[in-house]
Structure 1
Amino acid sequence: MPKWKDFYNGVHSRLDMEAVKLMRELKANFEQERNYLPKETGLSLIESTRENDNRGISAKCRDAKVEDLWSLTSFFGYSTKTFVLAVNLLDRFLAMMKVQPKHLACISISCLHIAAKAVEEECNVSSTNELIRISQCKFTVSDLTRMEKIVSEKLNFQIQAITALTFLHLYHRITLSDTSDRKETLNLDKLEAQLKACICRIAFSKAKPSVLALSLLTQEIEAMQAADMLETAHHVQRHLKIADTELIHWRGLVAKCMSDYSSPECSKPDNKKLVWIVSRRTAQGLHTSHYSVPDLPTIPEDCWDESESEDSCEDMSSGEESLSSSLGSDAEGPYFPLHFRCQSNKYPQTS
């Protein structure tokens, strides 16, 4: 019999008290999650925008930048929490702002930097100079600093967010505490990887974090054929009053995403290495201590008409190629190996 049932039957053991603490934490996060959801109307506008429309961000454009953030997260050794928070900040910002594609690089990198400063140890946070250089974007440190300020202000400085990762970790702890005598346990790293694959698609930005996390959890538990864990998951579902129809809907989308992601045709950000192929001349130029870029126009702060219920987006940068699309190009040799951060002053020679 699951320990959750023991508690509600009046058995007050140490494990039961820990269970109560976890359930209270779960309930508190559940009640607050709506405060960190992107505006659904804004997300729908992005989904309806045509790919080559320079007046707005399309779903494909957004998804490509999120994959870039995943690659950068891996490159700099940031945690899954940093990546998930960066995507949350980006989606919330894009859902309330009218953004042109040429601005997206600066916005996405600023969200990653904000998230890293909120999550990572200070000594592990890359400098703005390094972020710009590694991402090969065409804006200045000043541009990035100003954009970070804009993003933070537009989000009312609500940087620490409740995300699907928050619930995934809570569900994992609850399941472990309820099935502590099992030899086979849930693989949290695998669940996190599945979550990252999902949030690379804008469709999952519309899911409630608690539901998306439970969809991932129950799907993995069923694959393990663990009846006791499934009972615990169902108890959590009832405790949060998540409707069966809602869970079934998102589980179907998660299953489709995992199926697509496992196919050989899928280009996986987590399997990519941030490697730039450049000529010897370009490599020599990148040895310099300063990264020169042209000056950009001053950021306007004009708002859209109230009838549009959208804020304005500041003019920050020129359009850039996707990091993902830049990988594996034909040229003379690799640059920026994975150990770049440890040996930042030792660049390999190109062939």
Structure 2
Amino acid sequence: MTGATTAAARTPVQEHGALRVQGNRIVDQHGKHVVLRGMSLFWSQWQGKYYNRAVVRTLAKDWHADVVRAAMGVHSGGYLERPAAEMRKVEKVIDAAIAEGIYVIVDWHAHDPEPKAAADFFARIARNYGRHPNIIYETYNEPLPKHGWAAVLKPYHNQVIASIRAADPDNLIVAGTRSWSQDVDEAAADPLADPNTAYTLHFYAGTHRQPLRDKADRAMKLGAALFVTEWGSTDANGNGNVDVAETRRWFDFMEKNKLSYLNWSIADKNESSAALLPGASPSGKWPDNMISQSGKLTRDQLRRMNTTRKGN
């Protein structure tokens, strides 16, 4: 076996190892800037059928994703009402990502804060999985505009981060920012103390354009490391046309600035942002006729950029 073949066969986690924040970028175990590209699953309580090993394997092997996101739904029939059932779904995704050698974002998918429940949830994840460099903690998905950074979000993150660090002092944390994770410049101006925490930036190409990229630029100039844990090719409500031109502008921006990014979402919901069409198998290996326009746009980008996944 040639050296080139051996290198190509390495998984993303074997290649990059533990991730960390260095200045306003995320770097790997070698100190090299790293860009992860992948897919987010939909709210766990509503599309839990895709929370399984076969789907994660399809994303890793066929789509060439090097990161997946398990979106733990908190309210509306989610974790607060069914903690054991929702936890099992997320753990299946974590176990599958570890087996495939890719990264996994464990996301507290909520709009309103639940600091005690979130701290307990992440403490369990950190105790059970914190030894694995695959794990990335996303402590709060999309805080609403009414939740101020200094008064609500910063104390919330500090409480949850402390619960993680008690068991896992090392793995990367990504902290949600105000206004559906768009006010990254506000967080950058008053940063969290944890040295291995980046900040969540979300966008939907049909709604969020150059002004949001300008906010991201301001945040990075203030020294913040950003991570796009969720982006969509459509309007922010998940519908509307797939805005290919604006999506490509975002691709260029993220690649230029070394920002990791995950598309919303692996779901067969009847909306434009869903990567799959209604009735797509919960067992992965989707044929082209079950993948939406947005899904194909994203899959093509992952295959093109994540070249080391080819042939694995």
Give the strand-richer structure, 1 or 2: 2
User: Same fold per TM (> 0.5)?
Assistant: no
TM-score (structure 2 length as normaliser): 0.26
Larger Cα-atom Rg: 1
TM-score (structure 1 length as normaliser): 0.24
Give the helix-richer structure, 1 or 2: 1
